[in-house]
Structure 1
């Protein structure tokens, strides 16, 4: 079932971890070592990449490589997240390219989560309690139907609110719109009208100069003594007499005849120009342009915009006139929706209440086996007003000790207890991430309880990737991959070495975990423990 997995952790430098590269397994990965060696540094290094705040040093660099990632940031399933401290600044990288912290956090969503005694627990967020109960109750389809209708309800409520606000000013707005519509309609505006008027206006204002130029041109071309056409006609006649002597003269003669035809056409065009102007036309055009300019200024748009406003005003008037009928329609639609929502919310509530008892019993069974025999776990379901999730408020209540009433988990559970509760919930409900990291979840556990813990973690690792810091040999024996952390002191410095242990080396480490010393008896017990774990898994 594991999709994305943390396949590699590469640490160039992080506190006293240097030049470490770890290849992880899809199943259960455990880290062990002597007390005080700093086993949790591995978890801290991973948390560092995911944005955890803290005092870090220049040169700190950690890289996490995920395989099978379905994130939008992944490239062919490969997602590499990294963080570096350089010159006192934090630099984040996604697949080798600079990124923001928010982008990196977004890229890791649905892939990895950390559960430790000092980590922020999602169980403290009561919104998650309802989500977990719904997941356990398999309410996805029913909740989807409910939310679709709830969105429709919110939309209708927004429309109601808008209509009620508009109704307060409805009559006043209608008066203004009707006046403005009449003003624009009475102007009888036409597309392209302004350009035509401006062109005619320029013509009329220059009519005196135009007349003078046209009369002079007509006179020069044809009517005056020695006109262009007269001289050109004389020249053509002279050349016609000698054209047979030369082809070039013929060519020139042909061009001149063509020129005479063109000039004659120009003369006829000038003759047809109407130079008799109505003295009142200019003032009419000025009045029309002033009207258009005034309307453009008033409505802050051009002529095309004014024409569009007519349609917009008509639509708005029709809408406002229909408001008094629209509100009752919305009220009826809202009533029908509320009836449907109440029925669906009641169905959700019934399912939640039934499954709340089942979930509590299953989780309680697990946590009682994890060194909390007197623990009580309650899933409280209380009715509230309708919301996008129905009409229920769900809160997880917990008590670790006898004689104490269950209270919300963020008020009752210690770090170790909340980690075990989280493990129990993941075993019962499942997880929304594919890689889970637990930091010393087994603190304070031993004996038979340790075996229960180991079996539960192994069971979880069959569906998800599990990475675990542990001091329990029972848990280490179930590991698919076992890493040993050792602190080495040299003159003036401290370094940690992390290596994968297998075969005899792994047997010796589990023997050490059993009693603190290694002898034939503990070695034999370690072998037996590994054989038992292998037979169970």
Structure 2
């Protein structure tokens, strides 16, 4: 649930706070006061396009901040928190999640989620899970066949969702394989040349069998062999300086080990008389031990250094062969093993032999049959729910002052197109795409005797508003987002129909948080919480703020909306009556107490 939103520097809004609750919240105000800017702010907050033109003149930036209260036990709460954690954001101690979005006058946009800077696309992901915004243009979108298909699919629930996902996956794999087959067939000669080049290189590399890091190791060994005498002499000289030369003729030769032994004996004799000297004696013992270990290591190193001309010749020849092959394919010998692995993978995609093309053609046909099976099952599922969907929307329209209207959802297939993919269904070649083989058309019959016509041809603005609201009410039971926002979707509606729209929105608010920007008093009367956008013109500067209305404030606002006379006793009486009737309708229509939302 969206708990609160703060807007600053956006359009006419200088600084405003919206404290929201569950149920139905309405936002009203005079024309031009900035009601729609509230919806614009929510769109921006949840990843919408950053428009520098929306930044208030003189403001450093436009900023929208919001707080989502989440229930971790719901699927939406779990998915939102998982997406936030994936992006590095963290929920507050009370389980809420803070989002923010800012836009500079230059158009630079910044987004934050749970205290972490994130791409705007992450806020969009959160918005898809948390909020559904229906603007005035959504009525136009409902006219599009793709949106009508999406509405039907959404009504179909998990069954259609799973079938659609399976079809899209199979369709993608089919088209990729078909494109690969066409490419290999058309470029057979070119691919054969590339494959031959890779095969020759692989044969050379496999014959050498280079190991990772081998050239660097051989280089180090060659250097040791080339300088074996000098290395052995250096090690023996250092060893003798530390431990002495046992072959020396005189016994008075000075070495580090002998000198350290003398130092240890001198300190040991007096160490018991002073703790500080005792500590120095201990350090001398440690140094003697280190010298002994170093002397032993030097002796072993000298013994292990031997000149081996044959080994040196072999190393130099091996490195030369590695370098010769490497120059043809990579930057250095150590890159040959990785190149060979990539070459083997690339060869698999370059094989244009008759056998390879036949195998790929068989795979394409197998995938085509899989697509056909999935598309047919998806189509059958859509046909199965189409009548139920139409009946459900028709029922809702009956409660929206269209008692005689009838909505139908028609599902059909179209013949294959010359420039698009197709499959054969019941001995007929039909067009197919990632959404299946179906064309969906929602038709409206406003009253008996009139022909059912597609929405884009036969629905008026008011009828379209009510059809869209009816669809939303129907889909709400199928698991739509927890928060629904409507921006003047009641345009073109008035009178009794407006009352019914308000009642339906109130009904929708029993299971969802609903925020409605409206100009109709009949709709505003059903609100559980009423916010008003105030416009203040100071000189040439216009600002707007948002405030919560109490019962008296609501009556005054409804009186203004009814007749433009908020101070009229008659207008106030009419507004009070409207509020009382709306409450009575809610009480009569919703006998059961509203489901309480737990604190998230």
Q: TM exceeds 0.5?
A: yes
SS at structure 1 position matched to 2:527:
coil
Name 2:524's counterpart in structure 1.
476
Structure 1 residue aligned with 2:271: none
- Separation in 1 of the partners of 2:584 and 2:541? 41
Give TM-score scaled by structure 2 length. Answer: 0.63
Is 1:392 the counterpart of 2:388? The answer is: no
SS of corresponding position for 1:483: strand
Is the Cα–Cα contact under 8 Å of residues 408 and 443 in structure 2 kept in the other structure? yes
2-side partners of 1:185 and 1:48: how far apart? 58
The range that moved more, 448-457 or 9-18, is: 9-18
- The 1:535–1:170 alpha-carbon spacing in structure 2 relative to 1, beyond 3 Å, is closer
Q: Which of 397, 406, 409 is equivalent to 2:453?
A: 406
Q: Which residue in 2 is equivalent to 1:75?
A: 90
8 A Cα contact 2:184 2:191, kept in partner: no
Q: 1:323 to 1:229 in 2, by over 3 A?
A: same
**Residue in 1 aligned with 2:57?**
57
How far did 1:289 drift?
Answer: 6.3
Q: Aligned pair 1:499/2:518, yes or no? A: no
The residue aligned with 1:460 is 508
Indicate yes or no: 2:428 matched with 1:428: no
Structure 1 match to 2:24? 28
Q: Is the 2:23–2:513 Cα contact (8 Å) retained in structure 1?
A: yes
Aligned residues: 481
**Offset of 1:110 from its aligned partner?**
2.8
SS of residue matched to 1:110 = helix
CA-CA distance at 1:28 after TM superposition: 0.5
Deviation at 1:425, TM superposition (A): 1.2
Shift of 1:426: 0.9
The 1:463–1:293 alpha-carbon spacing in structure 2 relative to 1, beyond 3 Å, is same
**Could you tell me which residue of structure 2 aligns to residue 258 of structure 1?**
none
CA distance in 2, matches of 1:352, 1:481: 39
Aligned residue among 146, 150, 156 for 2:167 = 146
Q: Which stretch shifts more, 423-432 or 52-61?
A: 52-61
Aligned-residue offset at 1:427: 1.2
Does residue 1:532 correspond to 2:584, yes or no?
A: yes
SS at match of 2:493: coil
The answer as to 2:148 corresponding to 1:129 is yes
Structure 2 counterpart of 1:343: 373
CA contact (8 A) 2:441 2:454 kept: no
The alignment yields a C-alpha RMSD, in angstroms, of 5.1
The SS at the match of 2:27 is strand
Deviation per CA, 1:156-202, whole angstroms, max 9, x where unpaired? 43554565467546765676566656666777989679649956995
Q: TM-score, normalized by length of structure 1?
A: 0.69
CA contact (8 A) 1:83 1:90 kept: no
> 1:518 — aligned with what?
569
Q: CA deviation at 1:481?
A: 0.9
Give me the whole-angstrom Cα distance separating, in 2, the residues matched to 1:313 and 1:86.
49
CA distance in 1, matches of 2:64, 2:120: 14
CA-CA distance at 1:30 after TM superposition? 1.3
Pick which of 458-467 and 503-512 moved more: 503-512
3-state SS, counterpart of residue 387 of structure 1: coil
Structure 2 residue matching 1:388: 3-state secondary structure? coil
Which region of structure 1 is more displaced relative to structure 2, 118-127 or 8-17?
118-127
The alpha carbon displacement at 1:22 in A equals 2.4
Mapped to 1, the partners of 2:223 and 2:532 lie a distance apart of 92
In the superposition, relative to structure 1, how do residues 134 and 91 fare at CA in structure 2: closer, same or farther (>3 Å)?
A: closer
Distance in 2, Cα, partners of 1:434 & 1:512: 32
Q: Is the Cα contact below 8 Å between 2:15 and 2:545 reproduced in 1?
A: no
Distance in structure 2 (CA, Å) of the matches to 1:85 and 1:152: 40
Kindly indicate whether the alpha-carbon contact (under 8 Å) linking 1:512 and 1:522 is maintained by their aligned counterparts in 2. Answer: no
- Residue in 1 aligned with 2:38? 42
TM-aligned CA distance change 1:120 to 1:93, over 3 Å: farther
Residue 133 of structure 2 corresponds to 114
CA distance in 1, matches of 2:142, 2:316: 77
Change (3 A) 1:176 1:92: closer
Q: Distance in 1 between matches of 2:104 and 2:200?
A: 68
Q: Counterpart in 2 of 1:442?
A: 490
Aligned partner of 1:300 in structure 2 is 330
* Counterparts in 2 of 1:323 and 1:361: CA distance versus 1, 3 Å: same
- Kept in 1, the 8 Å contact 2:174–2:371? The answer is no
Kindly tell me: are residues 37 and 194 of structure 1, through their superposed partners in 2, closer, same or farther at Cα, counting changes over 3 Å?
closer
- Deviation, 1:83, is 4.5
Alignment of 1:375-390 (within 5 A): 377-383=407-413, 384-390=430-436
Q: Distance in 2 between matches of 1:319 and 1:39?
A: 58
Distance 1:317 1:464, change over 3 A: closer
How far has the Cα of 1:457 moved from its partner? Answer: 0.8
Q: Could you say which structure has the larger radius of gyration?
A: 1
How far the C-alpha of 1:29 sits from its partner, in A, is 0.4
Note if contact 2:7-2:65 (Cα within 8 Å) is conserved in structure 1.
yes
